[in-house]
Amino acid sequence: MKAEFVSYLDSVGLSSDTVKNNVESIYQYASILCPEEIADIFVCDFIKDDGSREYESLWFFSPNYMMEVRNFRSDRQYDIDLARSKGWIAYYRTYAKDYDFKRASSESRMTIEALNNDTVNMEWKASRDNCDKLKSILENYLKPNI
């Protein structure tokens, strides 16, 4: 797995060896499934009512594909979707709270919903500093494919 992916996992609070080993295994498998080299990673997260951070899914991006991995924190029981992203997006909506799209704070929240012409929808959520990463995903992988 790329060093920048490991650094990113640390930055969003996923620094345990168990989680990193799971993500490494998933990355190896995803690299076989994806027709292109995986270029980026993103973890959907949100803050629950009690203030704790919840991690929903793991995403991999390449220039023309995106993959969602649910159950990525479980022990080798993965649910993976692969979709072409090139020209796929017909619509997207961005919701931001306490985020100015320049620099995230501890209160920042961001959600992006995307829809294609076949009524398949996808959603990405971010909290805190992860909003900056989601903005990067928007700029590099979603916006170019609308």
Residues 6+ apart with CB under 8 A from 86: 63, 64, 65, 145
What range defines the domain where residue 125 resides?
Answer: 3-145
Q: What is the mean pLDDT of each run of 10 residues along the chain (146 residues)?
A: 94 92 92 95 96 94 93 78 86 93 94 84 94 96 89
Determine the pLDDT at residue 89: 85
For CA atoms 143, 64, 140, 21, the dihedral sign is: positive
Determine the pLDDT at residue 75: 66
Global model pTM greater than 0.85: yes
Q: For the chain, how many structural domains are there in total?
A: 1
- Report the CATH number that the domain containing residue 101 is assigned in CATH: 2.30.29.30
Determine the pLDDT at residue 107: 95
- Do 59 and 69 meet the contact criterion of CB atoms below 8 Å apart? yes
